[in-house]
């Protein structure tokens, strides 16, 4: 830890839980978490932040949230939630809530863009010009970084809602309330809960369902590799982080799907390209911290 580094608050909003982190560089000093629930959680979090601010004044806040998010700074809806099916959250002014209450720079991006930036800064994607972070949790998302900047375009990547080629014989209708059997609807936490009679966390590692999940994710990875050519594709999130064997299955199946077309991307190379977060379970929380660091730098 460099004592000269400013204290930054990172707020990660996930599909299931929200995490507030006080950090100096990548060193985590305090952390609190809450169930995501309704937007009332914003008040609970900002009350806690006001308490932190009195005890350990921080210099900036970074918000890393599930999407879709409006991120066009020139638009009236900057920092508002888009059309999320999460009850109460659609249209919520998540950026404004914190920017109005705290007199410090506030940055905002998607949870996966933040995590990708954190992996590029401190984790598994250091030194990569083009890299991505995928979360396989309650939702499925992708943050894409090109030359140190998270990709924003018309909106931002929402690659978890792509439809992939289905596995032969898999008749599950899908659990995405918007698309049914998009990738999130096939392998996100609620999809696993709907596919299995037991909770996702309790499904044994040798259950055949994991072969389907790995094959579905490999279809997606092969498409991502062909579409954006990442040098590193980090995969985190609650579904995958406690199932490390899935990554090897995904890499090997991706190699079969690519079938030698990109000649140096064989299975061994893909096992180095598709990896677990270097920051482990802190990729998301530190992603929010990086967004706060960047907001502070931009305000200087």
Which residue of 138, 254, 282, 293 would you call a contact of ligand ADP, by CB under 6 A? 138
Q: Which does 286 bind (CB under 5 to 8 A by kind): Zn ion, ligand ADP, none?
A: none
Q: Does 161 bind Zn ion (CB under 5 A)?
A: yes
- Residue that the structure tokens 């966390």 belong to: 201
Nearest to 142 by CA among 210, 63, 232, 262: 232
Contact, 13 vs 94, CB < 8 A? yes
Per-residue HEC secondary structure of 200-269 comes to HHHCCCCCCHHHHHHHHHHHHHHHHHHHHCCCEEEEECHHHHCCCHHHHHHHHHHHHHHCCCCCCCCHHH
Which residue of 17, 33, 101, 252 would you call a contact of ligand ADP, by CB under 6 A? 17
Report the distance separating Cα 249 and Cα 206, nearest Å. 12
Which residue of 6, 16, 33, 96 would you call a contact of ligand ADP, by CB under 6 A? 16
Which residue of 45, 94, 164, 176 would you call a contact of Zn ion, by CB under 5 A? 176
Q: Does 33 bind ligand ADP (CB under 6 A)?
A: no
Q: How far is CA 47 from CA 108, 133, 135, 142, 169, in A?
A: 19, 31, 28, 30, 50
Q: Which of residues 69-98 bind ligand ADP (CB under 6 A)?
A: none
Half-sphere exposure of 78 (CA within 13 A, CB side): 10
User: What percentage of the chain's residues is helix, strand, coil (to nearest 5)?
Assistant: 40, 20, 40
Q: Does 287 bind ligand ADP (CB under 6 A)?
A: no
Site string for Zn ion, 203-222 (x = CB under 5 A): --------------------
Binding window for ligand ADP (CB under 6 A); candidates: 41-49, 52-60, 137-145, 225-233 = 137-145
Q: Which does 182 bind (CB under 5 to 8 A by kind): ligand ADP, Zn ion, none?
A: Zn ion
Nearest to 160 by CA among 93, 239, 77, 229: 239
- Residue that the structure tokens 């064989």 belong to: 266
Q: Which of residues 182-201 bind ligand ADP (CB under 6 A)?
A: 189, 192, 200-201
Contact, 167 vs 45, CB < 8 A? no
Binding window for Zn ion (CB under 5 A); candidates: 131-139, 161-169, 203-211, 230-238 = 161-169
Half-sphere exposure of 216 (CA within 13 A, CB side): 29
Which residue of 238, 285, 287, 292 would you call a contact of ligand ADP, by CB under 6 A? 238
Q: Does 14 bind ligand ADP (CB under 6 A)?
A: yes
Which residue of 39, 62, 123, 237 would you call a contact of ligand ADP, by CB under 6 A? 237
Least Å from the CB of residue 188 to ligand ADP: 7
Residues that bind ligand ADP (CB under 6 A): 14-17, 135, 137-139, 189, 192, 200-201, 237-239, 242-243
Residues that bind Zn ion (CB under 5 A): 161, 176, 178-179, 182, 184
């Amino acid at each position: 830890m460099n004592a000269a580094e400013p204290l930054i608050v990172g707020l990660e909003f996930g599909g299931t839980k929200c995490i507030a982190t006080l950090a100096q560089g990548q060193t985590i000093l305090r952390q609190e978490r809450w169930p995501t629930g309704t937007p009332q959680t914003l008040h609970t979090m900002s009350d806690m932040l006001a308490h932190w601010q009195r005890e350990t004044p921080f210099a900036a806040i970074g918000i890393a949230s599930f999407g879709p998010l409006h991120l066009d700074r020139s638009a009236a809806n900057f920092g508002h939630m888009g059309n999320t099916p999460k009850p109460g959250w659609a249209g919520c002014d998540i950026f404004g809530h914190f920017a109005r209450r705290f007199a410090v720079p506030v940055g905002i991006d998607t949870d996966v863009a933040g995590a990708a930036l954190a992996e590029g800064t401190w984790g598994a994607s250091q030194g990569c010009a083009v890299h991505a972070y995928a979360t396989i949790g309650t939702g499925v998302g992708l943050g894409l970084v090109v030359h140190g900047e998270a990709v924003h375009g018309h909106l931002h990547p929402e690659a978890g809602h792509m439809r992939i080629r289905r596995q032969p014989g898999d008749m599950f209708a899908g659990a995405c309330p918007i698309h049914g059997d998009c990738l999130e609807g096939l392998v996100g936490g609620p999809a696993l809960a709907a596919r299995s009679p037991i909770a996702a966390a309790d499904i044994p590692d040798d259950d055949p369902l994991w072969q389907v999940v790995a094959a579905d994710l490999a279809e997606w990875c092969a498409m991502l590799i062909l579409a954006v050519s990442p040098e590193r594709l980090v995969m985190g999130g609650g579904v995958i982080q406690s199932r490390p064997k899935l990554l090897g299955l995904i890499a090997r199946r991706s190699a079969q799907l690519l079938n030698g077309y990109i000649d140096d991307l064989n299975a061994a190379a893909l096992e180095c390209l598709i990896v677990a977060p270097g920051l482990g379970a802190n990729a998301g929380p530190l992603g929010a911290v990086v967004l706060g660091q960047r907001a502070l730098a931009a305000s200087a």
